[in-house]
Every structure is written in C-alpha cells, then in structure tokens.
Amino acid sequence: MKSSAAAHPNIAFIKYWGNLDHDLRLPANGSISMTLGGLQTRTTVEFDPDLSQDSFILDGAQAAQESLRRVSQQLDLIRSLAGFPYKARVQSENSFPAGTGIASSASGFAALTVAACAAAELELPPKELSRLARRASGSASRSIFGGFVEWHKASTDEGSYAEQLAPADHWSLVDWVAVVDEEEKEVGSSQGHRLADTSPLQEARISSAAGRLTATRQAILSQDFATLARFAELDSDMMHAVMMTSNPPLHYWRPTTVEVMQRIRRLRSQGIPVFYTLDAGPNPHCLCPEDRAEIVQEALLKIPGVRRLLRAEPGGPARVLSEAD
C-alpha cells in the first residue's frame, strides 16, 4: 500500500481568485495555466494499518501542523473512496525552494492525490484525479495535466475539474521566475480566496472573466503570443487590484516587482515578445518564446533587486513513479 508520484507546479494566465464554495473549493471563475516542467514535487504515500495517525515529512523535516492537517483532510477523502481507515506516512520533496513565487501547493497536492490513489489501488481517470486534487488546493486540479490546461467553473463538485487544452510540445515558451523576495508570504492563498469578495472590484473581475478565458484559450490554440500577453497581464493586474482593495488589503508587490513589470513592458515596446504574470506573491513570472529566452534573461539579470532566476518550460502531467524513477 505504498506509491510515489511526481507533479509539476503551474502558472496561471487567467487566475483563480475567490470561491463560490470554500469547503468544496468551487472557483468563482474558470482559469487557464501552463504546467511548469523543470520544477517538481515528489511524494510518497504509505498506508499502514499499524499507524495511529498520519505523518508528513516535507523537504526532510516534520511539516507544520497546518500542512499536516491539510494532508490528512485530503487523505480522508481518498480513504473514504477506498473504503479503509488506514493512516499513512507521507514524505514529500520539492525541487524548487519555498517562497520563490512557485506555488508548491499545486504540485504538492497533485502529487499527493496521485500517490495516495495509487497506494490505495484506486484507478481513477485524470478528470476524477483533478476533481479530487481540487479539494485540497484549487490550482492542484490543473497540475494533474501537462501542457496548457483549463479548469472549469461549476456550481457542483462533479462539474469542476481541469482538462488539457494543448500538450506540452504544442508551444515552446520559457518562464523566467524573477525572485525578488524569498520570504514566506504572510497571507496564503486559502485565506486570500476568502477575502476576494470583500473587494468592490471582484464582481467586475468575475463578470468579465469569460471574455478573457475565451481570448486566452484561442491565443494558446493558435500560438498568438501578443494576444496571450495582453490578456495574461491584464488578468494578473486585475487579480492584484482585487487583492489590494480587499478588506484587509493584500499587497504582494515590492519595489523590484514593479521594476520588473516596467522592464517587461519596455522590452515589449522594443519588439521583444514577453509578458509578466504574478501569483499571490512578489516574484514575477516572465514568459517569452524559447528563442527569446536569453535576451529576456539578460535584461532581468541587470535589475539589481532580482536575486536570481528560475527557468521553467511547459511540462508533463502528474504521474505515478516506478522504482526506476
């Protein structure tokens, strides 16, 4: 009753921010992302009838109580589907450092869900794995799939899951994550989603999301970089406008964050195809076609507040690992 799985994080072009139902994590709007190959979480789950409680080792250390609680909650869902009560040992490692603007909850909960289902001998199709992963972390529903992914909004648990829009080899994009601040964020996304409705701008963001989703989906399918850039930046700025105007407000940007955003816009006005997008943190993701990756890298490294860059490309789906992996 032991299995291991690996999953990549993802970066959203159209963001998930706010829920229709917080317990079921039914999102207020659909979202679209790219799975980030080159960065991954590996997780091993072992159910053991002799254990009296779950345990969770994260990056070699005992995980915080709150992380263990979320892992146990997810294992409870899988235990009830499998029809057994056994507790589990969970061990997880990230290939990327925490606090770098890469959402480890997406890759972490996708890998946990896939490993736990395999250990419980539950054979679920990817769509069902995506629904299950969604319960632990919304963005994890997207990390079940590789390449370019859309997660659907729905008013029921059955209807809200992610699907692949295009595989990883559809489009050679590079994502440079400009690390400007490595401190753990004060307000995590689970808490942040609960604040979204306190912003007077959330309603406008949600009611206009369908148009941005359609434009972004089309832009990905037709490899229209300029349109993708326009809508991804707009959507990221809109999410941060909601964050900044919620009660209490969430301000994730730092001075260097704004410098990077301005530099990216300037590069674009000079004819270099590139755009930024930010999750719930200060570290911009800067995306460009692979053949422009070096120019963008050089420009970002010239900004004094940029501490380092992480590189990612479209990656594959979450998968069960064999002994050989």
Q: Residue 47 or 161: which CB sits closer to ligand PMV?
A: 161
Q: Residue 240 or 268: which CB sits closer to ligand PMV?
A: 240
Determine, following the binding rule CB under 6 A, whether residue 235 of this chain makes contact with ligand PMV: no
Q: Number of residues in contact with ligand PMV, rule: CB under 6 A?
A: 14
- Contacts of ligand PMV in 111-150 (CB under 6 A): 137-139
CB of 2 to ligand PMV, least distance (A): 27
The CA distance from 269 to 315, in Å, is 29
- Contacts of ligand PMV in 21-40 (CB under 6 A): 31
CB of 313 to ligand PMV, least distance (A): 18
Find the part of the chain contacting ligand PMV (CB under 6 A) among 14-22, 175-183, 249-257, 310-318: 14-22
Q: Residue 47 or 148: which CB sits closer to ligand PMV?
A: 148
Q: How many CB atoms lie within 10 A of CB 52?
A: 6
Determine, following the binding rule CB under 6 A, whether residue 15 of this chain makes contact with ligand PMV: yes
Determine, following the binding rule CB under 6 A, whether residue 242 of this chain makes contact with ligand PMV: no
Which single residue is written with the structure tokens 């009560």? Answer: 85
Determine, following the binding rule CB under 6 A, whether residue 310 of this chain makes contact with ligand PMV: no
Determine, following the binding rule CB under 6 A, whether residue 91 of this chain makes contact with ligand PMV: no
Determine, following the binding rule CB under 6 A, whether residue 82 of this chain makes contact with ligand PMV: no
CB of 274 to ligand PMV, least distance (A): 20
The CA distance from 136 to 205, in Å, is 24
Which single residue is written with the structure tokens 């061990």? Answer: 91
- Contacts of ligand PMV in 274-293 (CB under 6 A): 279-280
Of 5, 6, 7, 12, the one binding ligand PMV by CB under 6 A: 12
- Contacts of ligand PMV in 43-62 (CB under 6 A): none
CB of 225 to ligand PMV, least distance (A): 20
Which residues are at the interface with ligand PMV (CB under 6 A)?
12, 15-17, 31, 103, 105, 137-139, 189-190, 279-280
